[in-house]
């Protein structure tokens, strides 16, 4: 169910933020499935793959958030309204 919903949101959007959220949901679900398989099959390589997926998802979130903050920040030298009132 999660795979179907996430895949449809990744393909249809409507925004990049929606697509990224769906991709992160899909990656964390996949990592959880790999972690469960690693324990059930006693295969440490699957646990390592799950950790790698979670690490990549974390990096993607940090990059996206920093890009959005940079885009929303006022240009250098320009003061916002809150700073001008001090």
* Domain residue ranges of the chain, discontinuous segments joined by +: 2-73
Q: Give 17's contacts (C-beta < 8 A, 6+ positions apart).
A: none
The pTM of this model reads 0.69
Q: In this predicted model, what pLDDT tens digit does every residue of 7-52 receive, in sequence order? A: 888 888 788 888 888 888 888 999 999 999 999 999 999 999 999 9
């Amino acid at each position: 169910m999660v795979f179907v919903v996430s895949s449809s949101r990744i393909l249809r959007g409507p925004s990049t933020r929606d697509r990224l959220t769906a991709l992160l949901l899909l990656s964390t679900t996949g990592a959880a499935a790999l972690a469960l398989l690693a324990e059930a099959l006693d295969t440490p390589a699957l646990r390592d793959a799950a950790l790698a997926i979670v690490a990549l998802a974390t990096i993607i979130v940090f990059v996206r958030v920093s890009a959005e903050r940079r885009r929303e920040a006022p240009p250098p030298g320009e003061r916002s309204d809150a700073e001008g009132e001090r």
